[in-house]
């Protein structure tokens, strides 16, 4: 019985030389691993003739129907563009970071060969991230449907004029204020625009929706975290000056007329991300932002082998294989699961008794 073709779509920001060089290398690595790389015609600019000869032609009207995996070369912006392209299909995205922070990316440029090795061995997991369905109503009429992975933001269209909005959750008004805008985000988006707006960082495993005002002129204008089943809404005050726009992930936009109402709710269609390892999100946060953790005392409690910061935990494949050869992934945790116990003891760490004041 013949082995079915394993097709991998390669998406890259080919306007950048670094992305073109990475795409060239990735195509050759995939072919050497026995896989069929596909590159869209719009992304093939800059590739050499030798590389173009290695590409596998799409076999159907919609090539995404036959794709096992999409490898994205770029930063979070390129991954957001790719998520738009594959929405509604089952192929997961695996991001290779060529940008700066790269929260959505799974590996780095220097680990490209190792990434292909893991993909060829089918040694990866698929994680689903919540997305938003975004609807716009004017005078009770539904005029637009959009979606977002990170956030939907209602923002002022003119620099010199703020907008007046009413915030609503689950059909009940919360408050009204003038502002530069309001960000409604997913946990994934909590490290993006909502983070810049002063919103909380929410771990991806938490199911919740966020609202974060932008430069609000009000005493009560705090970020809010609501249930994943809630329906937050932002209404533009009809007779207030100032024009507004709706942006979804900074990519899809819509002019909002006075009195427009923007609702967001959890979408039934998630974005699927391929993961080579599952280090704690805490470690990803520390590594991506370069947070100082040198004063961390957990190492003293857990033993001398616990890493303090940086790249400390080796990536693992599935439990039957043990450790996989490859680059190390960031970790500030150790094998005892962060229980607070000393690895050399059997009981919990006991603090010295507190002396009561007379």
In a domain, 2, yes or no: no
Last residue of a domain, one of 104, 123, 142: 123
The pLDDT tens digits of the residues spanning 61-99 come to 456 778 999 999 998 899 999 999 999 899 999 999 987
Of 152 and 99, more confident? 152
The CATH number linked to 13 is 3.40.50.10330
- The pLDDT of residue 56 is above 80: no
Same domain, 75 and 107: yes
- Note the pLDDT tens digit of each residue in 158-182: 988 999 999 999 999 999 999 999 9
| Structural domain includes residue 100 | yes
* Closest-CA residue to 165 (of 219, 231, 240): 240
pLDDT of the residue at 196 = 93
CB atoms within 10 A of CB 122: 10
101 and 146 together in one domain: no
Residues with a known catalytic role: 76
Q: Is the pLDDT of residue 50 over 90?
A: no
Chain mean pLDDT for the chain:
83
Same-domain check for residues 137 and 261 = yes
Q: Is 287 annotated as a binding residue?
A: no
Whether 275 is in a domain gets the answer no
Is 195 labeled as ligand-binding? Answer: yes
CA distance linking residue 42 with residue 97, whole number of Å: 20
**Same-domain status, 152 and 250:** yes
* Same domain flag for 115 and 137: no
Nearest-angstrom CA–CA distance, 346 and 338: 14
pLDDT classification of 307: cutoffs 50, 70, 90: low
Is 255 one of the annotated binding-site residues?
Answer: no
Judgement on whether residues 101 and 165 belong to the same structural domain of the protein:
no
CATH number at residue 206: 2.60.200.30
Does one domain contain both 76 and 159?
no
Residues 11 and 118 reside in one and the same domain: yes
261 is in an annotated binding site: no
150 is in an annotated binding site: yes
Domain finish residue from 72, 96, 123: 123
The answer to whether residue 102 is domain-embedded is yes
Quote the CA–CA distance of 323 and 313 in Å, as a whole number: 11
Measure the CA–CA gap between 274 and 277, rounded to whole angstroms. 9
Q: Give the pLDDT of residue 144.
A: 97
| Section 272-293 average pLDDT | 91
Number of domains forming the structure of the chain: 3
Q: Is the pLDDT of residue 21 over 60?
A: yes
The answer to whether position 341 is within a domain reads no
Q: Is 81 annotated as a binding residue?
A: yes
pLDDT > 60? residue 345: no
Read off the pLDDT of residues 91-131 as tens digits, 9 standing for 90 and up. Answer: 999 999 987 777 898 999 999 999 999 999 999 999 999 99
pLDDT value of residue 304: 53
Query: d(Cα 331, Cα 322) in Å, to the nearest integer?
Result: 18
260 and 136 in a common domain: yes
Q: 99 and 43 in one domain?
A: yes
Say whether both 181 and 296 belong to one domain: no
3-class SS at 109?
Answer: helix
Quick one: pLDDT at residue 33?
Answer: 94
Domain that holds residue 172: 132-266
Share of the chain above pLDDT 70, in %: 80
């Amino acid at each position: 019985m013949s082995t079915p073709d394993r097709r991998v779509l390669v998406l890259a920001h080919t306007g950048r030389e670094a992305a073109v060089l990475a795409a060239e290398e990735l195509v050759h690595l995939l072919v050497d691993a026995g896989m069929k790389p596909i590159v869209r015609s719009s992304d093939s600019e800059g590739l050499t003739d030798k590389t173009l000869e290695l590409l596998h032609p799409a076999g159907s009207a919609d090539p995404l129907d036959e794709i096992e995996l999409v490898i994205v070369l770029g930063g979070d912006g390129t991954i957001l563009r790719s998520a738009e392209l594959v929405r509604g299909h089952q192929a997961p995205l695996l991001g290779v970071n060529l940008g700066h922070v790269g929260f959505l990316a799974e590996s780095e440029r220097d680990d490209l060969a190792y990434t292909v090795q893991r993909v060829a061995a089918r040694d990866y997991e698929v994680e689903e991230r919540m997305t938003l369905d975004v609807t716009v109503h004017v005078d009770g009429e539904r005029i637009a449907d959009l979606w977002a992975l990170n956030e939907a933001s209602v923002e002022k269209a003119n620099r010199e004029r703020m907008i007046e909005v009413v915030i609503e959750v689950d059909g009940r008004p919360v408050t009204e204020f003038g502002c530069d805008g309001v960000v409604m985000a997913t946990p994934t988006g909590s490290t993006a625009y909502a983070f810049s707006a002063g919103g909380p960082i929410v771990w991806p495993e938490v199911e919740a929706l966020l609202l974060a005002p932008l430069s609000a002129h009000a005493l009560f204008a705090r970020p809010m975290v609501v249930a994943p089943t809630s329906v937050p809404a932002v209404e533009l005050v009809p007779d207030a000056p100032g024009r507004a726009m709706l942006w979804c992930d900074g990519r899809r936009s819509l002019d909002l007329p006075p009195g427009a109402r923007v609702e967001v709710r959890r979408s039934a269609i998630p974005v699927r991300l391929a993961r080579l390892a599952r280090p704690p999100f805490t470690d990803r946060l520390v590594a991506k932002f370069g947070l100082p953790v040198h004063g961390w005392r957990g190492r003293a409690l857990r033993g001398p082998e616990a890493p303090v910061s940086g790249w400390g935990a080796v990536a693992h494949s599935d439990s039957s294989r043990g450790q996989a050869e490859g680059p190390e992934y960031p970790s500030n945790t150790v094998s005892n699961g962060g229980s607070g116990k000393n690895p050399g003891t059997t009981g919990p760490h006991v603090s010295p008794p507190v002396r009561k004041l007379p």
